[in-house]
Amino acid sequence: MQRIGFIGLGLMGRGMSRVLLDAGYSLTVWNRTTKKADELMKAGAVWAGSPAEVAAASDVVITMVTDSAASEEVICGPAGVLKSARPDLCVVDMSSIAPEMSRAIAARAREKSVIMLDAPVTGNPKVAAAGKLGIMVGGPVEAFEKCKPIFEAMAAKIVHVGEKNGLGTTLKLINNLILGVAIQASAEALVLAEKVGIDPRKVMEITSVGGARTGAMETRGPWMIERNFDPHFTVHNMYKDLSNAMKLADGCGAVLPATSISLEMLRAARSQGDGEKDSCIVLKVLERLAGL
């Protein structure tokens, strides 16, 4: 079995790495905030002092960090993966980052004969811990095949988008604009229901069947109704993805009116100090606008 290195033990990374450990892989881990690795180390993971040390101990290194800057830092930075990478190491960046950064990192990796895949995911921390993610992969098919058993341990659906780096992260932006807009629509529906005196639970009940059914309402509806905005997918992270989707549209001339409205609502949530909360907190922004 390949030796796996895992960098980034946040909400998603903790569950994903635990699934790999449970599947029998040996795991070397690093996280900027060390205490987040405690539970994983109790379960058998080995700590390394830097991303470079993780790479030295691994055949495949997975990174799962916040954004483009973080991926660049842990892979290309002074103590990054590429510092100690040997030829034929495979680096799989599963973070949701800008496609141009995926391509730039892959080019830096190629200079060291390191193979790179961008493989962002759909799901949430609970789905990650259950090994039921969706994974979309950009990069060479040979590397994809090599990593497929690892993806299979973590995922319910795996899509190889194409041979070019950046195609996985491009598809992820397309996926997340649907999610962002669907959360916005679900929040609007719940606020309208509240204003006209309909119990929001009735909205959830009726939209569990029929054409208005969405994963956004199914997962986030209960959180919004209970006003539980503990982070599963933060406002900051959704804002980052929709900003990158807008840049992608800008580059190719696509027009994304609904996405731009969702982005503005997330900007309002950030301005109100709720960036670290779950992105369904756009409900609160709408309630304020509606005088609730």
Ligand X SMILES: NC(=O)c1ccc[n+]([C@@H]2O[C@H](COP(=O)([O-])OP(=O)(O)OC[C@H]3O[C@@H](n4cnc5c(N)ncnc54)[C@H](OP(=O)(O)O)[C@@H]3O)[C@@H](O)[C@H]2O)c1
Rounded Cα distance, 284 and 290, in Å? 10
Q: Which two tokens stand for residue 55?
A: 């790479």
Give least dist CB 202 to ligand X, A.
Answer: 27
> Closer to ligand X at the Cβ: 121 or 235?
121
> Closer to ligand X at the Cβ: 58 or 219?
219
Residue type, 234: T
> Closer to ligand X at the Cβ: 135 or 191?
135
Give least dist CB 93 to ligand X, A.
Answer: 9
Give least dist CB 278 to ligand X, A.
Answer: 9
Instruction: Work out the angle between the directed axes of helices 68-76 and 99-110 (0-180°, nearest 10).
Output: 10
Instruction: Using alpha carbons, select from 234, 235, 233, 250 the residue that is nearest to residue 98.
Output: 250
Which residues does residue 53 pair with via DSSP β-bridges, in sequence order?
none
Q: Determine contact, residues 22/45, Cβ cutoff 8 Å.
A: no
Q: What share of the chain is helix, strand, coil (3-state, %, to 5)?
A: 55, 15, 30
> Closer to ligand X at the Cβ: 14 or 191?
14
Q: Which residues bind ligand X (CB under 6 A)?
A: 8-13, 31-33, 36, 64-66, 70, 73-74, 95-96, 121-125, 232-233, 237
CA distances from 253 to 174, 245, 247, 256, 260 (A): 15, 12, 10, 10, 14
Instruction: Using alpha carbons, select from 2, 11, 63, 69 the residue that is nearest to residue 279.
Output: 11
The reply to whether 172 belongs to the active site is yes
Active-site residue, from 83, 172, 195, 277: 172
Give least dist CB 182 to ligand X, A.
Answer: 14
> Closer to ligand X at the Cβ: 95 or 170?
95
Give least dist CB 253 to ligand X, A.
Answer: 26
Residues serving a catalytic function are 172
